[in-house]
Amino acid sequence: MFIIQYIIICRNRRYRPQKYSDAEWKMWWAQYNTGVTHYCDYEEVRADLFTAPLDYSLGHCVSQDLKMSRCIAKIFRQKYGGLEELRAQHVAPGGVGVLKREGRLLFYMVTKKHFWGKPTYITIFLALRRVREYANLYGVNKVAFPRIACGLDRKNWGVISKIIKFVFQDTEIAIKIYVM
């Protein structure tokens, strides 16, 4: 079994390695290292995420503690609310909280445990995969994201965009990335 050791920063800020196994992650990692490019209906536009048409669902990254006190997460909290609904879903890192507002779904991708931590590529991968599952379940065929995990979380956009293209390849889901 393929095992990747990754690190999660715990409340006491000590590093504790945890094991994770996933065949799809293994396949992506192997293809990423060989430079294979994946194709999906993917577009990057220079515009405000909140100007996306109403037929697009919106997604962004949050921490499990749902602080959402800075950047785009703060705007989501102020504009859409729903903190108690999200807390009631008890989403762990790698999962997704879902709200329905203004006739569209909002995907809150939990990519880290605490607001002061940093996500791993694995939790981002898992959250995106969960977005794909929810999109298929609810019949969503258009999803808009900002450049996820690249602001305060300081992840490499080149890697993140390849993960997005891999996760959404061979689907009917159009992905639009909004860059400010």
Q: Is the alpha carbon torsion for 28, 33, 36, 37 positive or negative?
A: positive
Choosing from 65, 67, 153, 165, the catalytic residue is 153
- Residue 176 in tokens: 């639009």
Q: Token pair of 84, please?
A: 């108690």
Local structure of residue 56 (DSSP, 8 states)? S
Catalytic residue (one of 112, 113, 142, 176): 112
The strands making up 104-112's β-sheet, listed across from edge to edge, are: 42-46, 174-179, 142-145, 57-63, 104-112, 96-101
Please report where in the chains the tokens 């949050």 appear, as a residue: 62
The phi, psi pair for 58, rounded to 5°, reads: -115, 145
- Annotation says 112 is catalytic: yes
Residue 63 burial (CB < 10 Å; 0-12/13-18/19+)? buried
| Catalytic (active site) residue 74 | no
Task: State whether residue 113 is helix, strand or coil.
Answer: coil
149: tokens are 């995990």
Indicate which residues carry an active-site annotation: 112, 153
